């Protein structure tokens, strides 16, 4: 057995004959923080959608911890330990930060535990508060959070579900500089206990926080390597950096 948590082979997705993914092979080791980049339409979202069971591929396999994910439903994949953020917010504005985290954590708890008398905060929720730096805001309504704090809450809501793999879609989009730095630190910290795949375009952010980068282009993996390696690749400069 290898230490690879995720092994994707020959993945194809066709929409009315158009191949959004055209033979993607991708291997991500346990504990990696992997960045996924590529121009608009490269297939990044489609790839995340396939991993999480939202889109069914026309061919190929997605093995996660040795189990095949293709053919499983979304909620089964969540149960196996794959969590993702969406570009649209999933935060309940009327609930507090703590309540949002508790609710997210409950999705992976057995149903009976929802009826339990409240005996304090589950450990996973505590950990999510601490990791995201939101402890002081635990009692605040999510509706009053800044854009950055809301993004961290969403990451916290994933952590509270104790996934093994986190898929994050553009976590620093729309963030101010100080919030980006905080998010970079947060991702680095989250990757100590989890495997993380981040779709991100921001080159400055990648330069600071990415070690391994995979470049998608026209539904295929164009190249992989360190930020320096992929930036130096003339094909990457042409399709992505040379805009
Ligand atoms: P990225 O996330 O890298 O910008 P996407 O995965 O969203 O790329 O899209 C890849 C290609 O697949 C694009 O050309 C897009 O128009 C197409 N596509 C994505 N979803 C659908 C769909 N549901 N139906 C038809 N075409 C789609």
Which ligand 1 atom minimizes the distance to the CA of 49? 6
Bridge-based pairing of strands 212-217 and 4-15 is unpaired
CA distance 40 to 84: 20
Q: What is the ipTM of this complex?
A: 0.96
Write down the pLDDT at residue 211: 86
Domain ranges of the chain: 1-81+163-243, 91-162
pLDDT in tens, the chain (243 residues): 468 999 999 999 999 989 999 999 999 999 999 999 999 999 999 999 999 999 999 999 999 999 999 999 998 999 899 999 876 778 999 999 999 999 988 876 555 555 554 556 678 899 999 999 999 999 999 999 999 999 999 999 999 989 999 999 999 988 989 999 999 999 999 999 999 999 998 888 988 998 899 999 999 999 999 999 998 999 998 987 555
42 in ligand 1 pocket by Cβ < 6 Å? yes
- The H or E element that residue 224 is part of is strand 220-225
Give one word for 128, left, alpha or beta, with left for phi > 0 and alpha for psi -120 to 50: alpha
CB-based burial, 132-162: b 16+ in 10 Å, e otherwise: bebeebbeeebeebeebbbbbbbbbbbbbbb
Write down the pLDDT at residue 117: 46
CA 36 to chain centre: 10
Is residue 191 within 8 Å of residue 34, measured between CB atoms? no
Instruction: Point out which residues pair with 199 in neighbouring strands.
Output: 36, 169
CA distance 104 to 106: 5
Q: Which CATH superfamily is domain 1-81+163-243 in?
A: P-loop containing nucleotide triphosphate hydrolases (3.40.50.300)
User: What is the residue with the minimal CA distance to atom 22 of ligand 1?
Assistant: 15
For a substitution probing ligand 1, which of 21, 37, 41, 51 has the most ligand atoms within 8 Å of its CB?
41
Write down the pLDDT at residue 239: 87
CA distance 4 to 104: 27
Is residue 21 within 8 Å of residue 13, measured between CB atoms? yes
User: What is the residue with the minimal CA distance to atom 20 of ligand 1?
Assistant: 46
Is residue 105 within 8 Å of residue 112, measured between CB atoms? no
Write down the pLDDT at residue 38: 92
Nearest Cα neighbor of 221 from 53, 82, 36 is 36
CA distance 189 to 155: 12
- CA-based end-to-end distance of the chain: 42
3-state secondary structure of 187: helix
Give one word for 169, left, alpha or beta, with left for phi > 0 and alpha for psi -120 to 50: beta
For residue 25, give both structure tokens.
């092979």
How many residues does this entry show for the chain?
A: 243
41 in ligand 1 pocket by Cβ < 6 Å? yes
């Amino acid at each position: 057995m290898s230490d690879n948590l995720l092994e994707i082979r020959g993945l194809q997705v066709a929409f009315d004959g158009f191949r959004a993914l055209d033979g993607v092979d991708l291997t991500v080791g346990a504990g990696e923080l992997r960045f996924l980049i590529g121009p608009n339409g490269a297939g990044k979202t489609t790839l995340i959608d396939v991993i999480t069971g939202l889109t069914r591929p026309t061919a190929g396999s997605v093995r996660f911890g040795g189990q095949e994910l293709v053919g499983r439903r979304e909620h089964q994949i969540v149960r196996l330990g794959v969590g993702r953020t969406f570009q649209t917010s999933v935060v309940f504005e009327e609930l507090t930060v703590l309540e949002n985290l508790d609710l997210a954590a409950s999705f992976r708890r057995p149903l009976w535990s929802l009826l339990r008398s409240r005996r304090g905060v589950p450990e996973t929720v505590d950990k999510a508060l601490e990791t995201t730096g939101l402890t002081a805001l635990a009692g605040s309504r999510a509706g009053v959070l800044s854009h950055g704090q809301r993004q961290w809450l969403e990451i916290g809501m994933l952590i509270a579900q104790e996934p093994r793999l986190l898929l994050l879609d553009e976590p620093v989009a729309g963030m101010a500089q100080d919030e980006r730095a905080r998010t970079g630190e947060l991702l680095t910290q989250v990757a100590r206990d989890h495997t993380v795949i981040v779709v991100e375009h921001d080159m400055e952010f990648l330069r600071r926080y990415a070690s391994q980068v995979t470049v998608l282009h026209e539904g295929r993996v164009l190249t992989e390597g360190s930020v320096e390696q992929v930036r130096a690749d003339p094909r990457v400069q042409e399709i992505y950096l040379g805009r």
